Structure 1
Amino acid sequence: MQFYALIEEWPDECMAFFRELPGCYCSAPTYQEMVKAVPGAVADYLKWVKVVAKEGGAGPRFEADLAPPDDIEIDKALNVAATARAALLELYEQVSPERQRRRLAPDSWSLTEHMLHLLESEGWYVSRLSEQPIEPTIDANADIAMIFFDHAMDYELILRGLSPEQRSQVFTHDGAEWTAAKVLRRMTEHLREHYPWMVEIAKEVKQ
């Protein structure tokens, strides 16, 4: 199988995304290292998709992001996002409230801080498809699990309800271009990116 890679190069990181594989990404310090790691990342993603089936920052806007996603592509991306959220919530709720807020180091994030960041980020990504986006804010003392679920439902309705014009429109905010395809690509990747970090935190705080 061959997939078209969308590559973002940053000063200290190189990332690859695949529009055909929503939520699949590969990250490495250099382009050369990233290229070597891509086959394994794709294989891990496809393995993850099979397991799920059995069980049930602003980067560049690529030319591939201009093509408007159809209902099938949006549904596929949102299903990946929903599965990633379910895994995050299950992990989060396995830890006691006191330990959810525990940091492993002064400059690190707690599980709660990761969840708050994900909540704000999802709202931020979806708001990129508005002419005048409103920066999302989340109450740190709110019921994280409930808000995570409720907001996800709201975002799904917004993304599924995009008109043909909105799906193909290019929005520009702070010099960065956004399209519906780019939002789906970045949002799904971001949800999956945080999961392994949170797994390690959960292991440590449970001890």
Structure 2
Amino acid sequence: MENRQKIREKDTGIKLRFYFMSLWLLFVLIFLLTIDIPISFAKDAHFIGIMPLLEKNWLAFSSLLLAILGWIVASGEKRRWAGVSNPPYKIKSIKNENYEYLTFLTTYIIPLICIDLTKIRYVFVLVVLLVLFGFIFIRMDLYCGNPTLALMGYRLYRAEIEGVDAPDGVILISKNRLLKESSIKWIPIDKYVWIAKEIINDIG
């Protein structure tokens, strides 16, 4: 029971990191939309000061900090994926699922940046929505359609794997262009979600 609890906590932690990664582009866009640095070329112009600048742009700088943290998390996950692999499997059939990246972008990211972030009540609404989306994404395993992965060069596939009983197939996240009969090394993110690397000429 204790081991099962630890596995569940580990899986939840991975999914939370994936969800945080998926918001990287949103944080960057919020920063670009809300940053307001007054610039004047008048002779009597002067710097308004660090604190007034921070107070004026608290949302922009908070978003920038979250975007930096999101990219650090993504880079850490990328290094972790490169260090471990499981015994190879062969792909029986495969389907491209890259459209999920655009679905995530157009369904969640774009509508959120249309919120009027100049009013504090709408910023609060944005935070509530992000928490709600995170809960849904983790419970429904929707974290794979992550646009940050696309920016990092990863492709998304749904595949049938020889020797693996997966009713709806296995989601493969890979930098390689995987095809039917490709042999892969893999790292599990979830039971049916793997990071995959193609084995070229059956050489690891």
| Larger proportion of helix | 1
Q: Larger C-alpha radius of gyration, 1 or 2?
A: 2
TM-score, reference length from structure 2: 0.29
